[in-house]
Amino acid sequence: MSEPNTIGARTASPAVIDIQGLNLSFDQDGRRTDVLRGLDLSIRHGEFVAIVGASGVGKSTLLRVLMGLVQPSAGSVRVNPDPGAERPMALVFQDSRLLPWRSVCSNVSFGLEKSNMTRTERRERAMQALGVVGLADLADRWPWQLSGGQRQRVSLARALAVRPSILLMDEPFSALDVSTREGLQDELIRIWRQTNRTILFVTHDIDEAVYLADRVVALGGKPGEVRAMRSVDVERPRKRGSVALDDLANDVKADIFGEPARSGGNWVI
């Protein structure tokens, strides 16, 4: 039986991220570089949004702006996290960034060490997060004993352990082989549905974007700007390589590059 399409229900809820007229410029060596221009984006609670675009278009920089690591040159960025969340957001990187001298469980609990939780409470929370990603039985292993896919799941567990309202994911599966990447994509969908987190997912892979997301935002140009936003009105669970997803992937590529693209194959830009 197909899962219900819940896109409409999610987009009716309040915005947790509201970006209006975002401009970002850097001055370096006496020259001004415009990175993002006129970016508007509103993301609702529980929505899964993918940002796709070529290298250098400002996808990862946008995540840094949301994290407060970079200040915009103009425009407004408002984050309205779920009141029940313990942190506004957490970031999952392209590489797992696990500490090699700490066990899996200790890596997951790392972000909790500045809280008022006891050591026992931190371990319990870490074990809960590892259970969500299916790695509770590997809690006492070391990072070097894990596969690449397992390390990324530990990284995701570390983000979930701080119970954020929003998960920011910066190309988290791009360095993995195809079978591992596809398995983690399905795992991420399961976790998203289980935890009801809002996810903003950055990727170069257009097929990955349309397979995962409720909505795909195509960035293009220099400076980067929103070329199009497309709802993925395909019921879950989705089938990779379906006509509907392939057509949408082709449309997104045309949005980015400004020309029709009607050929097969995996779109990675």
What is the structure's pLDDT at 27? 86
Residue 116 covered by a domain: yes
48-73 tens-digit pLDDT:
999 999 988 999 999 999 999 999 99
Q: Does residue 18 have a pLDDT over 70?
A: yes
What is the structure's pLDDT at 246? 96
For residues 171 and 52, give the distance between their C-alpha atoms in angstroms, rounded to a whole number.
10
Residue 91 covered by a domain: no
CATH number assigned to the domain comprising residue 20:
3.40.50.300
**For the chain, the helix, strand and coil percentages under 3-state DSSP, each to the nearest 5:** 35, 30, 35
Number of domains in the chain: 2
Which of 229-233, 245-249, 261-265 is least confident?
261-265
Q: Does residue 2 have a pLDDT over 90?
A: no
What is the structure's pLDDT at 265? 54
Residue 77 covered by a domain: yes
25-41 tens-digit pLDDT:
988 778 888 999 999 99
- Which of 129, 162, 195 finishes a domain? 162
* C-beta of residue 47 within 8 angstroms of C-beta of residue 214: yes
143 and 216, same domain (yes or no): no
188 and 254, same domain (yes or no): yes
Cα four-point dihedral sign 240, 246, 248, 250: positive
What is the structure's pLDDT at 185? 97
In 22-147, which ranges are continuous DSSP H helix? 59-66, 104-109, 119-132
- Which of 162, 196, 216 finishes a domain? 162
185 and 218, same domain (yes or no): yes
Which helix or strand (DSSP H or E) is residue 30 part of?
none
What is the structure's pLDDT at 260? 55
Mean pLDDT (whole number) for 95-110:
97
155 and 170, same domain (yes or no): no
What is the structure's pLDDT at 97? 94
The neighbour count for residue 249, using CB atoms within 10 Å, is 24
What is the structure's pLDDT at 248? 96
Range of the domain at 17: 1-85+166-269
154-197 tens-digit pLDDT:
999 999 999 999 999 999 999 999 999 999 999 999 999 999 99
- Which of 162, 180, 211 finishes a domain? 162
4 and 54, same domain (yes or no): yes
Coil, strand, or helix at residue 13? coil
Residue 90 covered by a domain: no
Residue of higher predicted confidence among 226 and 264: 226
For residues 41 and 21, give the distance between their C-alpha atoms in angstroms, rounded to a whole number.
9
Which of 83-87, 148-152, 259-263 is least confident?
259-263
Gap between the terminal Cα atoms of the chain: 34
Q: Does residue 204 have a pLDDT over 80?
A: yes
265 and 189, same domain (yes or no): yes
Q: What is the mean pLDDT of the chain?
A: 91
What confidence category does residue 257 fall into, taking pLDDT thresholds of 50, 70 and 90? confident
What is the structure's pLDDT at 268? 55
Residue 114 covered by a domain: yes
Q: Does residue 258 have a pLDDT over 90?
A: no
Which structure tokens are listed for 202?
A: 């950055």
57 and 107, same domain (yes or no): no
